[in-house]
Amino acid sequence: MMLKIGLTGGIASGKSTVSDWLRNHNYHLIDADRIARDVVIPGSEGLRRIAAVFGDRILLEDGRLNRSKLGNLIFHNEDQRKNLNRMIHPLIRTEMRKQLKLLETLGAPVVFLDVPLLFEGSFEGWTDKTIVVYATKDNQIQRLMTRNSLTKAEALSRINTQMPLEEKKKRASAVIDNNGTIRETEEQLVKLLKQWMIM
């Protein structure tokens, strides 16, 4: 039976450091963010749904989704964000199920489900174990300000749209502390994989 492990964190908590390591070491990984991008490519049902609600203003000249424009619209409007999630999440779930079924058919022993909103989106029932990649709020703010050229207020606003990492920590099977170096994070991951006997 395939072991399904949920991987989550918060914005700028360093989850991609963990998922990149897993991918580079040939673990099967279903990436909800990648799927979210795929379901809104030009000509897709997802993009049609979004444009029908938000209008052509959220499209680039070549017909692709203007992510930063859409992001600005939804980060400051909870109703709009929920509306977007209602449109797109079913498409993401369908594709994730498809990929899970394929890996199960192929006899994969373990798969990681990289889902930013794992707890918020009720994906816990899909997994046998969960890992939370944790960083302090101060570190999240600093990383977001640097990475996305945001003000402190803008960074906080984005962090506050998600379930607090302290809450996610309580619900996780394991926590990887990503406040130190990348190497320290990777060492914690390796130790955990050995502990779970999947390395």
Chain-centroid distance of CA 171 in Å reads 16
Query: What is the set of domains in the chain, with CATH numbers?
Result: 3-194 (3.40.50.300)
If you average pLDDT over residues 108-116, what whole number do you get?
97
CA 118, 182, 195: angle at the middle one, nearest 5?
A: 65
Question: pTM for the whole thing?
Answer: 0.91
More confident residue, 155 or 74: 155
C-alpha torsion sign, points 186, 96, 111, 24: negative
pLDDT over 80 at 75, yes or no = no
* pLDDT on residue 77: 86
Helix (H) or strand (E) holding 78: helix 78-105
Please tell me the distance from the alpha carbon of residue 92 to that of residue 32, in angstroms, as a whole number: 7
CA 183, 188, 191: angle at the middle one, nearest 5?
A: 125
Please tell me the distance from the alpha carbon of residue 97 to that of residue 119, in angstroms, as a whole number: 17
* pLDDT on residue 113: 98
* pLDDT on residue 74: 86
* pLDDT on residue 129: 98
At 18, which amino acid appears?
Answer: V
* pLDDT on residue 130: 98
* pLDDT on residue 68: 87
pLDDT over 80 at 126, yes or no = yes
If you average pLDDT over residues 43-51, what whole number do you get?
94
If you average pLDDT over residues 126-130, what whole number do you get?
97
* pLDDT on residue 35: 97
N-terminal to C-terminal alpha carbon distance within the chain: 17
